[in-house]
Structure 1
């Protein structure tokens, strides 16, 4: 596609930077504010509201630019070789402290634009992070090239590019002899390596016969399972199709296709932040809810705080993950695991007058799309004193903060964590309360 020279402006949500050419907005990846760069258009059209582009040459570099740690994700090197960069490390060319500053700018811009709040929140580095920001992913997913090699997609593309490493992954994943195996017949490979000592577990999506062949070629000591993501079915080929994760001083069963935080330190960091924000209401006998609860990371912390005289309503929409939560809290009568959509479970609880109808506190940890207006309205109707909102997306978070404000609530405290180094993503933990 066409190459243009542009001057780069502010960072935008989604890992892009804003540039303009002849009045047209271009969202540029692999750039930095203030740089003069040559870009190659990846999406364009006369009728398009904006274009997208990759940096292919830096004419005037920003002082925060560094050499990208991963050649396969480096836009400059890959475009020079006539290839595309893989996604997943779009901030790898930026000095790490400035990465956090840029993420803070995006968070502030989204809060002002969508919630009307002028608030600057520093993005904190996670304790124990490696100085280079690598080796933090305890889970990694790969596509498969037409030649049967492990690969990753280019950004917003169906093109799969072969890779020989995944530097963001923990060493137990990086050291696996996967890179030269023939994965022909496999569509996707997911690998999880928890700190508990279990696994690693390898999920193989594709033809079952191909999965069995690959399983036989993988080294001993791995658990391997065939994965049907369309029907949420995981069947063991060897070992067991689930993992034992350890966090907040207890073990959790997590099915192979179930949800668990990908950063090795995320469970402890987020649990500690939520516990601190809700400390004034978490006491024996309290009635609380964990919404979008997964296998019960926050549910566990809440159950310990409220004791056997309290109640924890734990709601999760995924049937597989909800079954894991049920197993994880067997023998804890104060935990009520309820599968289903959050809005439906809350509505049913309100109609029945059960424990979910009036709450002392709520932990809200929705997927990237956020909670939405209806869920916010139902949470407010349940009467909690405090809500701890955990979010991985600044835009949906800011939108939902605006919905809470419309219900007479305020954002009382906000913390932000750099749980995804070298990417544009961040995690926030917020305290919301009724206006005083």
Structure 2
């Protein structure tokens, strides 16, 4: 439903017209969908509204529309009829209502912040269930979903994140992006971050010549690392690069001793890895993962290697994956998209010296991290390879010994995979199916790609046997699911 509010300057919009700014719509808000949007309608057109709650009536400002974009996107700027689950946003720069009152748009990264925590999780459960039934074709009665949160995140959902990506403003200051926009907003804090980030003197430094700055904080030690991402223009000129390196090194020299710093140059070819230039300290962080059931292990994680950002996520997901995979002494397990070896380490301890774990990782530095992190476990073979090539190789040469990265003629008991955002895809899943494991454990932070892969596995004869969904990104639409698939 739409209405008019002349006092706010609303203009009627033709269905196919390019929308002038600002255009305000009064919308009755429907269900939440993946991405942090609620669905509403205006003149028969779908409008995806952020910063709203299902059941509300809001005034929304159109942020993206035109003849080439069938859906419109909009931000809530005023609440006409509020949900009982609405609260004051805990992060001022991400608060849409406050941002529009002072003439700007909110920064991205807390699109659920206006919703009380328990209802955030109910909405995530609904989005997960809807996505899996609509795309994954899972029957609703097979999905009893309760999103599991962390008690330490209550009540505000702040100070949990160990990984942060900043843009650099035209004046060289750390900034955060606006959703679906090239606009950035300079910042002097990041409330989702662990408090240690706010203690670093980064906010007044001049990072001109960089496209972004990444800050990684160790979840359970003092160490931190700053990665300065040089622009292609700076990287292409030796003189410009040397000048910028001198400036960045001087500015970062004032950081505490436990903070390292590197400069990352853009990859020389698509899909390649950044070249690193050290400014101070190591180019990796120490991490420690402690599980009450499976013990404690130490890891080194390079700055560009994937690591789940919530401080508790590694331990939470280890326990969930281990329960789903159920590794026993002597088992053979493949860990695809293994990263720095988080799951492989605990799987290897469970299968013991008579078992085998094949850890496959395509990124060079992450693969090196895994090799270092798993060096005390001779039952692990680390393969620097893609999941596509590794699984194809196992099918082609099933007798290749584990020490050489093969199965040694043995059957896989389980496959654990945590693919990137786009999912594993039919090619990898088809080969995994042909390898004949007893179970597949799938870790996903994207319910859409998970649903597509779930449907493909169902077509191959697998069923979704168990699901755990964790709220490891409070105040955002993101969630992490651990799914177990078994043969029908």
Smaller-chain TM-score bracket = over 0.9
* 1:65 aligned residue: 86
Q: How far, CA to CA, are the matches of 1:366 and 1:90 in structure 2?
A: 25
The 1:198–1:393 alpha-carbon spacing in structure 2 relative to 1, beyond 3 Å, is: same
**Aligned-pair RMSD on alpha carbons?**
1.5
Is 2:421 the partner of 1:421? Answer: no
Deviation of the 1:150 alpha carbon:
1.0
Provide the rounded CA distance (Å) in 1 between the counterparts of 2:52 and 2:220.
39
- Following superposition of structure 1 onto structure 2, how do residues 16-95 of structure 1 map, counting pairs within 5 Å? 16-95=37-116
Counterparts of 2:477 and 2:414 in 1: how far apart (Å)? 31
Q: 2: CA distance between counterparts of 1:198 and 1:346?
A: 39
> Contact 1:234/1:256 (CA < 8 Å) preserved in 2?
no
Q: Give the Cα separation in 1 of the matches to 2:77 and 2:154.
A: 29
Following superposition, the deviation at residue 182 of structure 1 comes to: 2.3
Superposed CA deviations along residues 136-186 of structure 1, whole A, max 9, x for unmatched, are 001111111111211100001111111121111001112222222222223
1:328 aligned onto 2:373: yes
**What is the rounded CA distance, in whole Å, between the counterparts of 1:80 and 1:128 in structure 2?**
32
The one of 202, 226, 242 aligned to 2:263: 226
Q: Report the 3-state secondary structure (helix = DSSP H, G, I; strand = E; otherwise coil) of the residue aligned with 1:246.
A: strand
Q: How far off is 1:392 after superposition? A: 0.4
Query: Would the aligned equivalents of 2:117 and 2:154 in 1 still touch at CA under 8 Å?
Result: no
Q: Is the partner of 1:202 in helix, strand or coil?
A: strand
Pair 1:123-2:147 in alignment: yes
Which structure 2 residue ranges, 5 or more long, are not aligned? 1-20, 231-243, 268-272, 291-295, 401-405
Match of 2:199 among 175, 190, 197: 175
CA distance in structure 2 between the aligned counterparts of 1:268 and 1:94, rounded to whole angstroms: 27
Distance in 2, Cα, partners of 1:287 & 1:120? 31
What aligned pairs does 1:31-430 form with structure 2 within 5 A after superposition? Answer: 31-117=52-138, 118=140, 119-206=143-230, 207-230=244-267, 231-248=273-290, 249-279=296-326, 282-353=327-398, 354=400, 355-356=406-407, 358-430=411-483
Unaligned runs of 5+ in 1: none
Matched residue count: 433
Conserved? CA contact 1:147–1:184, under 8 Å:
yes
The answer on whether the counterparts of 1:205 and 1:211 sit within 8 Å (CA) in structure 2 is no
Preserved contact between residue 261 and residue 283 of structure 2 (Cα < 8 Å)? yes
* Distance 1:434-1:413 versus aligned 2 partners, 3 A rule: same
Look up the SS of the partner of 2:227 in the other structure: strand
User: 1: distance between equivalents of 2:249 and 2:210?
Assistant: 10
Q: Give the drift of 1:47.
A: 4.1
Give 3-state SS (helix, strand or coil) of 2:31's partner.
Answer: strand
- Per the normalisation by structure 1, the TM-score is 0.96
Cα deviations across residues 73-117 of structure 1 (Å, max 9, x unaligned)?
Answer: 111111111111100000000111110011011100111111211
- Deviation sequence 1:389-428 (CA, Å, 0-9, x none): 1110111111111111001010011111100000000000
TM-score computed with the length of structure 2 as normaliser: 0.86
